[in-house]
Amino acid sequence: MSNSIQAAPAVMMVRPVRFGANPETAVSNAFQQSDENSASELTQQNAVKEFDAFYDLLKENGIEVVVIQDTDDPHTPDSIFPNNWISFHEGNIVVKYPMEAENRRFERREDIVDILKEAGYLVSDVKDISEPEKSGKFLEGTGSIVFDYDNKLAYANLSTRTDEDLLKNLCEEMGFEPVIFHAYDQKYGKDVYHTNVVMCLAEKFVVICLDAIPEEEHGMLLDKFEQTNKKVIAISYAQMNNFAGNMLEVKNNEGKSFTIMSKTAYDSLLEGQIKEIEKHSTILTPSIPTIEKYGGGSVRCMLAGVWLEKNAN
């Protein structure tokens, strides 16, 4: 059995009440689409169906899931993506983050930590670093940061949602080394809004869209991956645009590794890429087309990994 703590031993998900395309995030999220159904009741119904089937798939495979029911008021169309505002760490530490979109700040519900405690999880410290959002500085959780928990590295591509100073401050406080790079979308050359659509870091491998990253930064990243024994699985722009970078490795109650990616992401991969991942982990592929289309995020965004200890009771 591996001593690695990279794969999340549990996940938290938020079941949506009024899911829809968020106009406040559309400016910096090139993955998000809008049309006449962006905020319709049908879109919400389809999102809930996709969410429930995803939850069932995780539970069927022995993966521990804490589900939080979203609230109707205030309206939080992106609440299905909790990983942007909260993260849970070894040492029973919870971090709450500053968010760019004003209506996403309402997602930071005080009761969620209490719900986790009621579910038996231990919380010894809550670090609320959200204050800088009032002065226009943001760091959106494990959307902005892809943590290498085993090697204490924090990968981040800078964007309007990922502030370099906030990243460095958090790393210093948490004992991580920041690994900072840039990533640009293919169509407009804009910063890719979140690191977790560019790359996924698992115990034994890393999936990354090197095409989106300036060539002069490749060497630095590839050196880090080599030093930390990560097999590099490079994906194309087209695959990144189909959310193939937005995966998460988790382990079930028997310690078995699963890599979760959407059906959209899986269908974009080549046979060799799939085989490389399957050498290390079993792939699960929930189908979430409504959530991806209108939310502009995929399965990784829906899962907040939980590294908190649990009461033995």
- List per-block mean pLDDT (blocks of 10 residues) for the chain, which spans 313 residues: 90 84 47 52 85 97 95 76 95 97 86 94 97 97 98 97 97 98 91 94 98 98 98 97 97 97 98 98 96 88 96 75
In this prediction, residue 19 carries a pLDDT of 64
pTM higher than 0.85, yes or no?
A: yes
In this prediction, residue 62 carries a pLDDT of 98
In this prediction, residue 27 carries a pLDDT of 47
CA dist list (Å): 182 to 157, 208, 216: 5, 13, 10
In this prediction, residue 1 carries a pLDDT of 57
Q: What beta strand segments (E) does the chain contain?
A: 11-15, 65-69, 86-89, 93-96, 125-128, 146-148, 153-157, 177-181, 199-201, 205-208, 231-234, 248-251, 257-260, 282-284, 304-305
Place of tokens 């030093």: 227
In this prediction, residue 194 carries a pLDDT of 92
Would you state the structure tokens that stand for residue 43, as one six-digit string?
């879109």
Q: Please give the backbone phi and psi of residue 281, each rounded to the nearest 5 degrees, phi first.
A: -160, 150
How many whole angstroms separate alpha carbon 52 and alpha carbon 57?
Answer: 9
In this prediction, residue 94 carries a pLDDT of 98
How many whole angstroms separate alpha carbon 107 and alpha carbon 295?
Answer: 15
Contact present, 158 and 136 (Cβ < 8 Å) = no
Q: Please give the backbone phi and psi of residue 212, each rounded to the nearest 5 degrees, phi first.
A: -80, -10
In this prediction, residue 175 carries a pLDDT of 98
In this prediction, residue 104 carries a pLDDT of 82
In this prediction, residue 86 carries a pLDDT of 97
